Amino acid sequence: MLTLQLAVFAVCPFVLALTTHAFAPASSIVSSRTTNTPIRQRTVPSKLHESKDANMTDEEREIAMEKALKAMTAFSNKYTENTGTFYCSDKSIPAVVIKGLAEHKVTLGAPLCPCRFYEDKEKEAKEGYWNCPCVPMRERHECHCMLFLTEDNDFVGEETVG
């Protein structure tokens, strides 16, 4: 299992940014946001790059995140079914990636791949190349995030994310 985690950390730097939830089951990602723990502070975006959630209250953002997380989970489950791909056997991998997609859906208005670095996320989201499922996934079944795996991948699991 350690080898799998190291492989994902090397491939997906976004995983490191979410270490708080990185190894939590998908269902706890939503439920942990409704606890009494303080919501992390967000920086105020500049006028040039105003986030889609800039005018939301913390409560509105939490509701939007829960809705986006459910939508991205449903999308991912349906996509694996339609394409014959699978999730990773380590459930924390798809949980973190789906959470990142949901965050981008709320902040950018599009499910931009959370596992890549972008100079300008809003520009990339508008261009659509890296919006999930990205062009490499649609054309060649190559998922950089290890969210959608082909059956010949050593890390394939059998379950869906709930």
Interval 66-96: pLDDT, tens: 999 999 999 999 999 999 999 999 999 999 9
DSSP string, 110-138: S-B-TTS--S-HHHHHHH-TTBSSPHHHH
Residue 72 CB contacts under 8 Å (≥ 6 apart), including other chains = 98, 101, 102, 105, 111, 132
Task: Identify the burial level of 86 via C-beta atoms within 10 angstroms of its C-beta, where 0-12 means exposed, 13-18 middle and 19 or more buried.
Answer: buried
pLDDT band at 44 (very low <50, low <70, confident <90, very high): very low
pTM above 0.85, yes or no: no
pLDDT band at 50 (very low <50, low <70, confident <90, very high): low
- Least Cα distance to 92 among 154, 10, 1, 153 occurs for 1
| Torsion 52-27-113-117 (CA) sign | positive
Catalytic residues: 115
The yes-or-no verdict on residue 14 having pLDDT over 80 is: no
